[in-house]
Amino acid sequence: MQDKGLRITKVRRALIQLFSEHSIPYTANQIEKKLFAIGILVNKTTIYRELQFLSQNGYITEVYLHSNEISYESAELKHHHHLVCESCGNVDDVINCLVSELNREIYQKKKFKIRTHTLEFYGTCAKCAHIKHIK
Amino acid sequence: MQDKGLRITKVRRALIQLFSEHSIPYTANQIEKKLFAIGILVNKTTIYRELQFLSQNGYITEVYLHSNEISYESAELKHHHHLVCESCGNVDDVINCLVSELNREIYQKKKFKIRTHTLEFYGTCAKCAHIKHIK
DNA sequence: ATTGTATTGCAACTGTGTTGCGTTTACACT
DNA sequence: AGTGTAAACGCAACACAGTTGCAATACAAT
């Protein structure tokens, strides 16, 4: 990492550790709270810049789960998609991906070259379905 | 539509017509410009409220194509997905959907009940690939 | 024409994310 | 260890999508 003349600061180290330990996507705000909880108080500008930095250098990738907030997750995760519970907001992963087969078909039909795609599922997780049942 | 005590105003009529004539998703800003172009000058608050209204009443549906802006498209369109060109921003449709088969599988494995899903492709459209080639 | 209420415009606000700039800090090199 | 330099930082101010409260207006039914 220092190959490119990049420095290892406490924020950068903490973020890399966070993303390597958890496969969940985080927003800038969630990260700010996570860092604060372990005693690291950082300006939000720094967090945004650090997320941009890590994203541009291929350490993390952007995920669009909600309309107006960008989430980030480790770039080292296997290609996968998300189960987003509309009740509690919890996010889980699905590894299966049938979509890759579509690439050739879409290029033949539309001459559109797919670089990447997003596939997100919205619904109710097991926990919330259970809670609703109890009520 | 008037059944529910709802009124037909010029903005509402124009929006319903816009969405019925075009199958493309529009953002609030794009709609503001479209309306202005046909001589309808509306406050942005009205547009946001009208989009909320049409969405809640099942006339249009939300689409998340870009990180920080909500797009809307007619709710009467067949279930489909989008080809978003990362070069010119143009949006095209794909009707095929292999994903529906996943619903049962995901419920069996994860007990997650899928209400809906999004599947968006990002890449380069034929036109832009051609332009790049010429340059 | 009158009236009740849905709809509108305006202004002020919220929240996410960005930019400019001066200061601090990590790290390489003496 | 001391020092120079560029990366990283904090702060303040900003940009932009979207929301809210409230008073004014417009629709449609009587």
pLDDT over threshold 90, residue A98: no
- Using the beta-carbon criterion (under 8 Å), do B124 and A115 form an inter-chain contact? yes
B80 CB below 7 A from strand D atoms: no
Long-range Cβ contact pairs of B107-110 (< 8 A, separation 24 or more): B110/A83, B110/A92, B110/A94, B110/A125, B110/A126
B129/B102: higher pLDDT:
B129
- Using the beta-carbon criterion (under 8 Å), do B121 and A114 form an inter-chain contact? yes
Q: Which residues pair with B118 in a beta bridge?
A: A120
Report d(CA A93, CA A14) in Å as an integer: 23
Domain B78-135: CATH class, spelled out: alpha beta
3-state helix, strand, coil in chain B (%, to 5): 45, 25, 30
Which residues in chain B are contacts of A96 at CB distance < 8 A? 102, 105
Report d(CA A108, CA A54) in Å as an integer: 35
Identify nearest nucleotide to residue B8 by CA to C1′ distance. D27
pLDDT over threshold 80, residue B4: no
């033949």: which residue's tokens?
A108
Domain boundaries of chain B, sorted by first residue: 1-77, 78-135
B102/B28: higher pLDDT:
B28
**Most confident range, picked from A118-132, B35-49, B78-92:** B35-49
Taking CA atoms, what residue in A is nearest to B93? A110
Which residues in chain B are contacts of A132 at CB distance < 8 A? none
Listing DSSP states for A42-56 in one string gives --HHHHHHHHHHHHH
Strand D nucleotides within 7 Å of a protein CB: 6-13, 17-21, 26-29
Q: What is the per-residue pLDDT for A135? A: 45
Give per-residue pLDDT as tens, B62-73: 998 877 889 999
Report d(CA B108, CA B104) in Å as an integer: 6
Q: How confident is the model at residue B135 (pLDDT cuts 50, 70, 90)?
A: very low
Domain A1-77: CATH class, spelled out: mainly alpha
Report d(CA B4, CA A27) in Å as an integer: 40
Q: How confident is the model at residue B35 (pLDDT cuts 50, 70, 90)?
A: very high
